[in-house]
Amino acid sequence: MSPGTLNWNYLLNIGLNPSLSSNVGLTITTSNSNSAVSVTRNLDINQDGLVDRADVNIIQAAFDCTIGQSCYDPRADVDADGRVDIVDAATVAFHWMEVDFIPNYGISTTPLSLILAPSASGTATVTVTSINGFAGTVSLDAVVYPSGITVALSPSSLSLSVNSSASSTLSVSTTGASPGFYSVNITGINGPLSHSTIITVGVADFNITANPTELFFPAGPIQSMITISSLGGFQGTITLSTTVSPSTGLTASPNPTNITLTPGGSGTSYLHVDPTSFGAWDVTITATSGNLSHSVVVSVARCRFGCV
Ligand SMILES: [Ca+2]
Ligand SMILES: [Ca+2]
């Protein structure tokens, strides 16, 4: 070996018998003058590939327990001194969020978000990638929160060979879903190795409101503010139009007639009405963008002796 140092980590599975089987970490440090081997129990106690809260929970469950007690958990006694104590907890904490060197896999989604129209469909790609020589089958599951959109994974399990990656298609349907945002949590499972990725799906639409919804002449109010709001990541230009019922005696027009929305944004227009006779009317303001259309009704009255 050439001069210098080498640090290498291994995982050993020592199967004394099934009940005593244990994964241990093996660190070999060599230089041109000496070498050392240190062995510890695996700090990734639950073997999911990451040293994190779930591992600390296992230590907490066996805390202060000594070998021979039923509560003693050898996995939690990472320094193997026969007692689960603060030293074990501190050792795990020192390696917090480190990635284990067991054969493992990663999971990711492209894109990370989908913005879809109501009653539409779209797809995303879920990719699992072999890490540290992993080979095996990863089953995939998708859970939607809150309920509304429909999702399916095809295929629903992926076979990985060493150093390979494989992909599944996530199909999303927004039929029947309310406008807004949804999370799709996609989990891959291979034995104790469970990993998740999240894709956000926006069902993009807009709503329209009027304030006030009743106008009176001559005592007022005599104009109404129309508000258009983006939902589920909607962006685009909305055109306002009006119909008046009955059709004579009142003109009504919004200003402006076009509103451009950014995702999560809102815009306003003002409905101006001009009665040329006494009477009562319903003004329907319709907001249209592509094949999306929503309406609100403002009632208008011009009364000879005051409206009651
Ligand atoms: Ca872990
Ligand atoms: Ca200990």
In a domain, 28, yes or no: yes
User: 24 alpha carbon to ligand 2 midpoint, in Å?
Assistant: 14
Residues 179 and 255 in one domain: no
In a domain, 39, yes or no: yes
Query: Which strand ranges, in their side-by-side order, compose the sheet holding 121-131?
Result: 104-110, 121-131, 165-173, 150-154
State in Å: Cα 67 to ligand 2 middle: 10
Same domain, 223 and 167: no
pLDDT of residue 100: 72
Q: Do residues 197 and 214 both lie within one domain?
A: no
User: For residues 239 and 257, is the Cβ–Cβ distance under 8 A?
Assistant: yes
Ligand 1 mean position to 162 CA, how many Å? Answer: 22
Q: Identify the sign of the CA torsion 229, 232, 238, 240.
A: negative
Q: Could you say which of 203, 225, 253 is where a domain stops?
A: 203
Asked whether residue 1 is domain-assigned, the answer is: no
| Whole-number pLDDT of residue 156 | 97
Which pLDDT score, from 0 to 100, does residue 221 have? 80
* pLDDT on residue 1: 39
Note whether 199 and 230 are same-domain residues. no
Q: What is the pLDDT of residue 46?
A: 83
Closest CA to 112 of 189, 167, 185: 185
CA–CA gap between residue 308 and residue 299 (Å, rounded) = 14
Are 179 and 211 found together in one domain? no
* Residue 165 covered by a domain: yes
In this structure, are 85 and 17 located in the same domain? yes
pLDDT at 18: 43
| 240 and 282 co-located in one domain | yes
Residue with tokens 């009142």: 250
User: Which ligand is in closest contact with the Cα of 41?
Assistant: 2
Ligand closest to 91 (CA) is 2
Q: Are residues 169 and 130 in the same domain?
A: yes
Query: Quick one: 109 and 84 in the same domain?
Result: no
Domain boundary among 64, 94, 124: 94
Q: How far is the CA of 195 from the centre of ligand 2 (A)?
A: 29
User: pLDDT 10s per residue in the chain (308 long)?
Assistant: 344 555 665 556 665 544 444 556 666 677 766 777 666 677 888 877 788 899 999 999 999 999 889 999 988 988 888 899 999 999 999 888 887 777 889 999 999 999 999 999 999 999 999 988 889 999 999 999 999 999 999 999 999 999 899 999 999 999 999 999 999 999 999 988 889 999 999 999 999 999 999 998 877 788 999 999 999 999 999 999 999 999 999 999 999 999 999 999 999 999 999 999 999 999 999 999 999 999 999 999 998 876 66
Q: Alpha-carbon distance 99 to 107, whole Å?
A: 14
Q: At a CB cut-off of 8 Å and minimum separation 6, what does 10 contact?
A: 25, 26, 27, 28, 101
- Tell me if 160 is assigned to some domain: yes
Structural domain count of the chain: 3
Claim to verify: residue 127 and residue 88 sit in the same structural domain = no
How far is residue 296's CA from residue 210's CA, in Å, rounded to a whole number? 7
pLDDT, residue 44, reads 85
| 226: CATH | 2.60.40.2310
Q: What is the distance between the alpha carbons of residues 214 and 308, in angstroms, rounded to a whole number?
A: 12
- Residue after which a domain boundary falls, among 172, 203, 234: 203
**Tokens found for residue 214:** 């009743």
Question: How close is the Cα of 60 to the center of ligand 1, in Å?
Answer: 14
Q: What domain range includes position 46?
A: 6-94
Q: Is residue 182 part of a domain?
A: yes
User: In degrees to the nearest 10, what's the CA dihedral of 55, 57, 58, 60?
Assistant: 130
Q: Output the six-digit token pair for 287.
A: 């907001």
Cβ neighbours of residue 230 under 8 Å, at least 6 residues apart?
A: 204, 206, 261, 262, 263, 264, 265, 266
Instruction: Specify if 247 maps to a domain.
Output: yes
Q: Distance between CA atoms of 257 and 241, rounded to whole angstroms?
A: 7
Question: Are both 162 and 209 inside the same structural domain?
Answer: no
Instruction: Tell how far the Cα of 65 is from the centroid of ligand 2, in angstroms.
Output: 9
pLDDT at 257: 97
